[in-house]
Amino acid sequence: MNRQLGNDWFRTKRSKYKSSSYSLAKSLGDYPSDKWTKENIDKMTEKAADRIVNFIFGDESAEEIDAIDAIEQQMYGK
């Protein structure tokens, strides 16, 4: 979809995202701002990562998984 929309302004893309069959793109269609900044991208990336972690690992949060990874790194040098 992004390839088709190219370098259009976010406000132009937003109306097209609403008709997407992908839930993440569709959610951008309801985004409350006409601007898409680095901070917005960072927030959406974090939300998407959390959704993926929750899908794979169930109720464990991304912070818990990061903490486990840090402990394993200290213990085993992974």
DSSP for 4-69, please give it: HHTT--HHHHHHHHTT-SSHHHHHHHT-S-S---HHHHHHHHHHHHHHHHHHHHTT--HHHHHHHH
Of residues 53, 54, 1, the one with CA closest to residue 23:
1
* pLDDT tier, 58 (very low <50, low <70, confident <90, very high otherwise): confident
**pLDDT tens-digit series, residues 26-44:** 878 777 777 888 888 888 8
62-76 vs 38-57: helix crossing angle, rounded to 10: 80
pTM of the complete model: 0.50
Instruction: Report residue 10's pLDDT band, with 50, 70 and 90 as the boundaries.
Output: confident
Q: Which residue has the higher pLDDT, 63 or 49?
A: 49
User: What distance in Å separates the CA atoms of residue 69 and residue 37, rounded to the nearest whole number?
Assistant: 30
Domain boundaries defined on the chain: 1-32, 37-78
